[in-house]
Amino acid sequence: MITLRGLTKRYGDRTAVRDLTLEVPAGRVTGFLGPNGSGKSTTMRMILGLDRPTAGVALVGGRPYGALRHPLREVGALLDAKAVHPGRSARAHLVAMARSNGIAVRRVEEVLDTVGLTAVAGRRVGSFSLGMGQRLGIAGALLGDPRVVMLDEPVNGLDPDGVLWVRGLMRSLAAEGRTVFVSSHLMSEMELMADRLVVIGRGRLIADAPVAEVIAGSSRNAVRVRSPRAGDLAALLAAEGVEVVEVEGWDLVAVEVSLERVGLLCHEHGIPLYELSAREASLEEAYMELTGASVEYGAAAGIPAAGAGARAGVAAGLGAVAGR
């Protein structure tokens, strides 16, 4: 279990992480999401005692990382796959790592095998590709058979096979009762991998909830209706205070209303229905909506609703909803 209490980090006058309080539970995969520069890596560095918090504490299993006698046997982490001396072989790196924490050196061959690097273990790390470096980082995280596994963008640079493998690995680590804390920018991957999500923006906590709850909270969950009297239905819904976001010919899209309510309303007023369906938001849409206001390094176009709150995000999301 990872516990953060009021965790804050300032670099000069820039606050990278602001008063973060949360718990990452054991036995679950917890996804860590947030736009570029939102403070994910900084948070993880503080958990590992690499950066000193300006305020607050980060605890692993109830203790600060620096107080762990054999940290690698408690916490396996991959922060930066490049944090390996390029002149050293993968095997030498892992052997040194094992020795530092009194881990049996035979574990090195086991984890090399697990990540599929046995054949290149004698090669200098500097000659590794991005994905090979990433695999070495994952091998290091697994070396001490730790209770807590924390990975910063582990699938970055991995081939599709590797991505699938990491997903399975995270699931099985969590199923064994371990704490798994993973950051990623790949929403589709997160949707498949994570049980819970922690979302931050500009260093602040935005959401800390099960994945299903995050998606359910999205205003982009909509009801789609096809009816020859769509116009009449729109008026009825509007009269009931339901937001109708689009009417086009026979098609109508309304948000924040249940299928049942729309169905009953049509029944009461004798409106024929050709289609009544729910359209569930994707994690990506829910995420975009949550973080829309806190994207700092957005591209000039194509990022929905930067600079507005969640409500304003709805308008931008609708295009996507109606367009399908």
Partner 1 sequence: MTAVMERAPGGSGDGVGEGGPGGFRGAVAAEWTKLWSLRSTWWGLVGAFVVMGVMCVILGGAVASNNTNAIAEDDQGVVAVGGIAVDAVDIVQFVVLTLAMLVITGEYSSGSIRSTLQWTPSRARMLLAKASVVAGVLFPVGVALGAVGTAVAYPMLGVWGRFSVGGAVSAALACGVYLALIGVFALGVGAVLRSTAGTLTTVFLLLMVVPMMLGSGGSKVMAHIADSLPSSAGRHFMKGDSVPYPAVAGLVILVAWVVAALWAGCVILRRRDA
Ligand X SMILES: Nc1ncnc2c1ncn2[C@@H]1O[C@H](COP(=O)(O)OP(=O)(O)OP(=O)(O)O)[C@@H](O)[C@H]1O
> Which does residue 218 touch among partner 1, Mg ion, ligand X, none (CB within 5 to 8 A, set by kind)?
none
**37 scored as a contact of ligand X (CB under 6 A):** yes
In this chain, which of 23, 109, 145, 251 binds partner 1, going by CB under 8 A? 145
Region binding Mg ion by CB under 5 A among candidate stretches 35-43, 162-170, 253-261, 316-324 = 35-43
Q: How far apart are CA 162 and CA 177, in angstroms?
A: 23
Q: Give the other-Cβ count within 10 Å of 78's Cβ.
A: 24
Amino acid identity of residue 210, one-letter, is P
Nearest to 182 by CA among 166, 165, 206: 166
Q: With CB under 8 A as the contact rule, which of the stretches 84-92, 163-171, 257-265, 283-291 interacts with partner 1?
A: 84-92
Of the residues 63, 99, 267, 311, which one makes contact with partner 1 according to CB under 8 A? 99
Q: List the one residue from 86, 307, 309, 319 that touches partner 1 (CB under 8 A).
A: 86
Binding status of residue 144 toward partner 1 by CB under 8 A: yes
* Interface with Mg ion, residue 41, by CB under 5 A: yes
Q: Which residues contact 186 (CB under 8 A, 6 or more apart)?
A: 155
Window 238 to 297, contacts with partner 1 (CB under 8 A) = none
- Tokens coding 43: 């948070």
Which range binds ligand X by CB under 6 A, 11-19, 67-75, 173-181, 242-250? 11-19
* DSSP string of 176-227, one letter each residue: TT-EEEEE-S-HHHHHHH-SEEEEEETTEEEEEEEHHHHHHT-TT-EEEEE-
Torsion of CA 268, 274, 276, 279, to 10 degrees: -160
**Member of 55, 57, 130, 175 binding partner 1 (CB under 8 A):** 175
Q: Which stretch binds partner 1 (CB under 8 A): 137-145, 203-211, 221-229, 315-323?
A: 137-145
Residues in the chain: 324
d(CA 187, CA 31): 10
Q: Least Å distance between CB 142 and partner 1?
A: 10
**H helix runs in 68-159, sequence order:** 71-74, 90-100, 106-115, 130-143
Tokens 């906590």, residue located: 205
Residue 52, token pair as written in the block: 């000193």
Nearest-approach distance from CB 194 to ligand X, in angstroms: 16
43 binds Mg ion (CB under 5 A): no
Smallest distance, ligand X to C-beta of residue 36, A: 3
Q: At a CB cut-off of 8 Å and minimum separation 6, what does 108 contact? A: 91, 94, 95, 98, 143
Q: What is the DSSP string of 59-88?
A: EETTB-GGG-SSHHHHEEEES-TT-S-TTS
Is residue 178 a contact point for partner 1 (CB under 8 A)?
yes
Shorter beta-carbon distance to partner 1: residue 171 or 226: 171
Instruction: Give the footprint of ligand X on residues 41-60 (CB under 6 A).
Output: 41-42
For ligand X, the closer of residues 92 and 303 by Cβ is: 303
- Contact footprint for Mg ion (CB under 5 A): 41
The residues of the shown chain that bind ligand X, judged by CB under 6 A, are 11, 14, 16, 34, 36-42
Positions that interact with partner 1 (CB under 8 A)? 26-28, 45, 48-52, 65-66, 68-74, 77, 79-80, 82-89, 92-93, 95-105, 107, 140, 144-148, 175-178
